[in-house]
Amino acid sequence: MNLLRAAALCASIALVAATNYQGTMVPFPVERHGVMPFHLTAGSDGYLWVASFGAIARMTTAGEFKGAVQTPHAGDVADAIVAGRDGNIWFAESSNDVARIGRITRNGALSEYRLPSGSTPLTLAAGSGGVVFAGYPGATLGLVSYSGTISKITFKTKIDIKSLAYDSNGTLWY
């Protein structure tokens, strides 16, 4: 377990008020609900969604815990999470031997899509055109359609795609 993940085990979700540039933080301890936060995203439903070991938790922006959706693989780490443009929450989950992209619909239904061997997503981005992009080690960009079709693009430059972002023109950067 690396230092960053060890630190995340002891972490709480914190809200930093955008209007207070002095750095005031309000911690919301979610560990008491069995959630060890790794990543979070703001959903289109107005909730914050928190990726954890074997679960995706939901909370209000006031810090009220609203429950968690258990994933079928309790020991696996949810490595990334993003709010899809389809209104669903998408997450990447991996263990030593398998990786998956999961989707939680607005009504709480969970679907998972097994990824090809060697595909371990490090980051996710909600794309236009009905896809979620996944950045992998080895200069590979994965695509998962909203219907679950999996494909990939491999680039010649050998880098690990650890972060994805869109600019105001809709261009995907990594």
pLDDT digits (tens, 9 = 90+) for 120-171: 888 899 988 889 999 888 778 889 999 989 998 888 887 888 889 888 888 8
* Reported pTM: 0.80
Residue-wise pLDDT tens digits, 104-131: 998 888 999 988 877 788 889 998 888 9
What tokens appear for 73 in the block?
A: 């693989």
Cα–Cα distance between 38 and 81 in angstroms, integer?
9
CA 127, chain centre distance (Å): 14
Residue-wise pLDDT tens digits, 34-51: 677 778 899 999 999 988
Q: How confident is the model at residue 21 (pLDDT cuts 50, 70, 90)?
A: low
Average pLDDT, the chain: 79
Q: How confident is the model at residue 14 (pLDDT cuts 50, 70, 90)?
A: very low
What is the rounded average pLDDT of the residues 91-99? 81
Q: How confident is the model at residue 33 (pLDDT cuts 50, 70, 90)?
A: low
What pLDDT does residue 83 have? 94
Residue scoring higher pLDDT (44 or 1) = 44
Cα–Cα distance between 10 and 27 in angstroms, integer?
12
Cα–Cα distance between 61 and 14 in angstroms, integer?
10
CB 25 within 8 A of CB 14: yes
Residue scoring higher pLDDT (173 or 72) = 173
What pLDDT does residue 2 have? 39
What pLDDT does residue 15 have? 46
